Amino acid sequence: MINRSYAMDIVFDAETADEEVLRKLSEELISEVFYESDDPKGGDYLRYQYGGCSMEPCMDKDGAGYSYRLRMIPEYYTTAEEELYVDSEISRILKSIEDDPGLSEYEKVKAVRDHICDTVSYDTVHKHMKGSGHVQSTAYGCLYYHTALCQGYAVLTYRMLKELGMDVRIIKGDLFVNGRMERHAWNIVRIGDEYYNLDVTMDDINGNYDHFLKSDESFNRDHKRDEEFLTEDFYREYPVSSMDHEYE
């Protein structure tokens, strides 16, 4: 899927006939696809540029047993060619950061945040066009068109920080703005032993650092995480600092 394969066939044999096994297998496979690793192109980067997967199951009698085939056809928000462009642009952008071994973790995060805010603008057009604008939810949209929705900001932030060796995740939830709640995406990033909330979208829109490396106490005034990011297990794995990071 990282290579944007059109389809994947999973073939196996079994002694008994059980069509339900194909459904269970597909659910288990998809649940494991987006595991977090050191690969900047996997994990949340892939998860939030993926639009679902259609399944074509098949089961045939084969001698004393049965032969199963499950064809999985994913939908991606970007093509393989577009991802090659992303690879090239990110490599170019990060070269100056990677060439400076003296940069702290804080300085790396700030450099990524500042570059995105300087080169990307919030896409108010696609925001109001229901069912359109998948590309504006991608890193490619940020880098090629220089405009994106919040998910595009968060995906590019994730990818660039991962390339720099930072531990980062994408968080989905709600944002309270202009008297109403809206669906939103942002990041958490590890500096030292703890994580901090980072909303590059809102910093760009407002032209400030009010959502830069914040604790939950200050960040949750206008942000609310989805339930999957509020569990004890998630916070145990990604403990958020009780204090805002000092702005330098």
Mind listing the pLDDT tens digit for each residue in 118-146?
999 999 887 665 555 689 999 999 999 99
pLDDT score of 81:
97
Vertex 240, ends 181 and 110: CA angle to 5°?
85
pLDDT in tens, 58-79: 888 888 888 888 888 999 999 9
3-state secondary structure of 128: coil
- Architecture of the structural domain at 80-237: Roll (3.10)
Q: Is the pLDDT of residue 3 over 80?
A: yes
DSSP label of 141: I
Distance CA 89, CA 99 (A): 16
Helix or strand or coil: residue 108?
A: helix
Q: Torsions phi, psi of 196, nearest 5?
A: -130, 145
Q: Over 60: is that where the pLDDT of 207 sits?
A: yes
**Is the pLDDT at 183 greater than 90, yes or no?**
yes
pLDDT of residue 143: 97
Residues in the chain: 248
Q: Which two tokens stand for residue 144?
A: 């090629």
Query: Most distant CA pair in the chain: distance in Å?
Result: 70
Instruction: Find the helix or strand (DSSP H, E) in which 12 lies.
Output: strand 8-14
Domain boundaries, the chain: 8-76, 80-237
The whole-number average pLDDT for the span 77-88 is 97
Q: Is the dihedral of CA 24, 25, 26, 30 positive or negative?
A: positive
Indicate the average pLDDT of the chain: 92
Strand boundaries in 80-151, DSSP class E? 121-122, 147-148
Of the two residues 72 and 158, the one the predictor is more confident about is: 158
Rounded to two decimals, the pTM is 0.92
